[in-house]
Chain A
Amino acid sequence: MNHTTSAENIIELKNISRTFDDGFRVVEDFNLTVKRGEFVTFLGPSGCGKTTTLRMIAGFDKPTEGELLLNGVDIRDLPPNKRPINTVFQRYALFPHLNVFDNIAFGLKLKKRPKVEIIRKVKRALEMVDLEGFEDRTIGTLSGGQQQRIAIARALVNEPEILLLDEPLGALDLKMRKEMQLELKNMHQRLGITFIYVTHDQEEALTMSDKIVVMSEGKIQQIGTPEDIYNEPKNAFVADFIGESNIFSGIMTGKYKVRFCGAEFDCVDDVEHGTMIDAVVRPEDVIITTPEKGTIQGKVTSVIFKGVHYEITVLSGKNEIVVQSTKKAVTGSDVGILIEPEGIHIMIAEDVVNRIETGVDKNYQLLFLDGALACDLTELFPGASFQSDGLLMDAHGDVIEPETIRILVSIKPDSIEMSDDKEAGLLRGHIINLIYKGDHYSYVVRTDEDEDFIVDDEDLWNMDDYVSLIIPEESFEYAVKK
Chain B
Amino acid sequence: MQSKSNWLKLSKAQLALPYGLFLVCFVLAPLIVIIYYAFTNGEGVFTIENLTGFFLSTKTIGTLAYSFGIAIVTTSVCLLLAYPIAYILARGNFKHKSVILMIFIMPMWINFTLRITALKEILTIIEGNLSFHPFLNTVIGMTYDFLPFMILPIYTTLLKLDKNLLEAASDLGADTVQTFMKVTLPLSVPGIISGIFMVFLPSMTNYVVLDMLYNSTYIMGSLIGAYFSAYDWHGGSMISLILLIIILVFTLCTNRYADEDAGSSRGGVISR
Contacts and interface: CB of A to CB of B under 8 A. Distances in A.
- The answer to whether A and B assemble together is yes
A97 B172 contact: no
A442 interface: no
A80 B262 contact: no
A89 B164 contact: yes
B107 interface: no
Interface string A136-151: 0011100000000000
A110 B173 contact: yes
A95 interface: yes
B62 interface: no
Given A97-B261, A97-B263, A89 B168 contact: yes
A81 B261 contact: no
Given A81-B173, A106-B172, A158-B172, A96 B164 contact: no
B186 interface: yes
A25 B257 CA distance: 47
A80 B170 contact: yes
The interface residues of chain B, by DSSP majority, are classed as helix
A106 B187 CA distance: 15
A452 to B, nearest CB: 51
A96 B262 contact: yes
B168 A95 contact: yes
Task: Name the 10 nearest CB pairs between A and B, nearest first.
Answer: A107-B172, A93-B164, A93-B168, A110-B173, A80-B170, A96-B265, A97-B186, A87-B171, A81-B173, A140-B264
A86 interface: yes
B43 interface: no
Interface string A89-110: 1110111110000000011001
Contacts of A243: none
A79 B170 contact: yes
A222 to B, nearest CB: 29
B177 to A, nearest CB: 11
Nearest to B165: A93
A99 B155 CA distance: 25
23 contacts: A58-B171, A59-B170, A80-B167, A80-B170, A81-B170, A87-B171, A91-B162, A91-B164, A93-B162, A93-B167, A95-B165, A95-B168, A95-B187, A96-B187, A96-B262, A97-B187, A97-B263, A106-B174, A106-B182, A110-B172, A110-B173, A139-B263, A158-B172
B129 interface: no
A170 B183 CA distance: 25
A154 interface: yes
B70 to A, nearest CB: 32
B73 to A, nearest CB: 29
A120 interface: no
A293 B175 CA distance: 71
A461 interface: no
B178 interface: yes
Contacts, number: 71
A362 interface: no
B169 interface: yes
Give the size category of B's interface with A. Answer: 20 to 34
Interface in A395-446: none
Contacts of B168: 87, 89, 93-95
Given A97-B261, A97-B262, A110-B178, A154 B164 contact: no
B181 to A, nearest CB: 11
B172 A96 contact: no
A96 B263 contact: yes
B157 to A, nearest CB: 12
A109 B187 CA distance: 19
A334 B165 CA distance: 60
Interface string A62-80: 0000000000000000011
Given A80-B171, A91-B162, 6 more contacts: A87-B167, A95-B187, A97-B261, A97-B263, A140-B263, A158-B172
Nearest to B261: A97
A59 B261 CA distance: 30
Interface in B168-224: 168-175, 178, 182-183, 186-187
A87 B165 CA distance: 12
Contacts of B164: 89-91, 93
Contacts of B173: 81, 107, 110-111, 158
Nearest to B265: A96
A81 B174 contact: yes
A81 to B, nearest CB: 5
A154 B171 CA distance: 11
Interface string A120-141: 0000000000000000001110
A419 to B, nearest CB: 60
Contacts of B172: 81, 86, 106-107, 110, 154-155, 158
Contacts of B171: 58-60, 80-81, 85-87, 155
A460 B265 CA distance: 76
Nearest to B175: A81
Contacts of B262: 96-97
Nearest to A86: B171
A91 B262 CA distance: 19
A96 B168 CA distance: 12
Contacts of B175: 79, 81
A217 B97 CA distance: 32
A450 B164 CA distance: 55
Nearest to A138: B263
A58 B169 CA distance: 12
Interface in B116-175: 162, 164-165, 167-175
A359 B174 CA distance: 56
A90 B165 CA distance: 12
Nearest to B262: A97
Nearest to A87: B171
A125 B260 CA distance: 26
Contacts of B263: 96-97, 138-140
Interface in A140-180: 140, 154-155, 158
A154 B173 CA distance: 12
Nearest to A104: B172
Contacts of A80: 167, 170-171
A87 B265 CA distance: 23
A87 B171 CA distance: 7
Contacts of B169: 95, 106
A87 B166 CA distance: 13
Given A93-B165, A96-B187, A96-B262, A110 B170 contact: no
Interface in B221-272: 261-265
